[in-house]
Chains A and B, each alone.
Chain A
Amino acid sequence: MTSWVDVICIIVVFLSLVILSNSRVTAMIRVFALQSFVLGLLPFFLHISGMSGRVVMISLVTIILKAGLVPYILFWAIRHVSMRTEIKPILGFGTSIILGAIVIAGAFWVSLSLKLPGKPVSDLILPCSLSTVLLGFMIMVTRTRAVTQVLGYLILENGIFLFAISLFDEMPALIEMGVLLDIFVAVFIMAIVVNHINEEFEKNTVSVGRSKMGETF
Chain B
Amino acid sequence: MLTILIATPFLSALAALLPVSRDFRLKLFLAVSVIYSLITALFWKDLPASEYNGFLVLDSLGLILLSIISFLFLSVAIFMIGYFQHEQRSNRTLSACVLFLLSTMTLVAVSYHFGLLWVAIEATTLFSAPLISFHRNQQSLQATWRYLLICSVGIALSLMGTFLLAIAAHDVHTLLLPALLKGAPLLSVNWLKLSIIFFIVGYGCKMGLAPTHSWKPEAYGQSTGMVGVLMAGVLPQCSFLALLRISQICNKTGLTGFYSSILIVSGLLSFVVPAIFILGEKNIKRAFAYSSIEHMGFLVLGLGLGGVGLFGALFHMINNALAKVIMFLTAGSIAQKYGSSRTDDIRGVIHIYPVTGIFMIAALLAGTGVFPFATFHSELLILNASIISQHYFLAAVGIICLAVMFIGIGKIVLGVIHGQPKEPLLAKKENVIMNAAIAVAVVLLISIGLWMPSPLEHLLHHAVTLIGAV
* Chain A interfacial positions (CB closer than 8 Å to B): 114, 116-118, 133, 137, 140, 146, 149, 153, 156-157, 160, 163-164, 167, 169-172, 175-176, 178-179, 181-182, 185-186, 189-190, 192-194, 196-197, 200-201, 204, 216-217
> Given A117-B170, A160-B156, A186-B122: A216 and B115 within 8 A (CB)?
no
User: 9 A–B contact pairs at CB < 8 A?
Assistant: A156-B153, A157-B156, A160-B163, A171-B115, A178-B116, A182-B126, A189-B129, A190-B149, A196-B133
Contacts of A163 in B (CB 8 A): 160, 163
Question: Is B116 a contact partner of A171 (Cβ separation < 8 A)?
Answer: no
- B57 to A: closest C-beta gap in Å: 16
Contacts of A189 in B (CB 8 A): 126, 129-130, 148
Q: Is B169 an interface residue (CB 8 A)?
A: yes
Question: Is A204 a contact partner of B138 (Cβ separation < 8 A)?
Answer: yes
Scan B85-125; emit 1 where CB is below 8 A from any A CB, else 0: 00000000000000000000000000001011011001101
> Given A156-B156, A200-B138: A164 and B170 within 8 A (CB)?
no
Report B135-157 residues with CB < 8 Å from chain A CB.
136-138, 141-142, 144-146, 148-149, 152-153, 156
New A-B contacts (7) at CB < 8 Å, excluding given A118-B170, A200-B138: A156-B156, A160-B159, A163-B160, A164-B163, A167-B163, A178-B115, A189-B148
Contacts of B118 in A (CB 8 A): 179
How many B residues, CB 8 Å from partner? 39
Contacts of B133 in A (CB 8 A): 193, 196
Tell me, in angstroms, the Cα distance from A160 to B195 when the chains sit together: 13
Tell me, in angstroms, the Cα distance from A193 to B138 when the chains sit together: 11
- B255 to A: closest C-beta gap in Å: 18
Question: Is A175 a contact partner of B115 (Cβ separation < 8 A)?
Answer: yes
Scan B173-192; emit 1 where CB is below 8 A from any A CB, else 0: 11100000000000010010
Q: Is B23 an interface residue (CB 8 A)?
A: no
Q: Is B166 an interface residue (CB 8 A)?
A: yes
Instruction: State which of B122, B123, B145, B169 has its C-beta within 8 Å of the C-beta of A197.
Output: B145
Question: Is B170 a contact partner of A185 (Cβ separation < 8 A)?
Answer: no
Contacts of B2 in A (CB 8 A): none
Name which residue of chain B comes closest to A179, CB basis: B119
> Given A185-B126, A186-B152: A117 and B113 within 8 A (CB)?
no
Tell me, in angstroms, the Cα distance from A16 to B174 when the chains sit together: 32
Name which residue of chain A comes closest to B136, CB basis: A196
Q: Is B167 an interface residue (CB 8 A)?
A: yes
Question: Is B141 a contact partner of A197 (Cβ separation < 8 A)?
Answer: yes
Q: Is B171 an interface residue (CB 8 A)?
A: yes
- A117 to B: closest C-beta gap in Å: 4
Contacts of B119 in A (CB 8 A): 175, 178-179, 181-182
Question: Is A167 a contact partner of B142 (Cβ separation < 8 A)?
Answer: no
Contacts of B163 in A (CB 8 A): 160, 163-164, 167
Name which residue of chain B comes closest to A217, CB basis: B142
Contacts of B144 in A (CB 8 A): 193
Contacts of A204 in B (CB 8 A): 138
Instruction: State which of B122, B148, B173, B191 has its C-beta within 8 Å of the C-beta of A193.
Output: B148
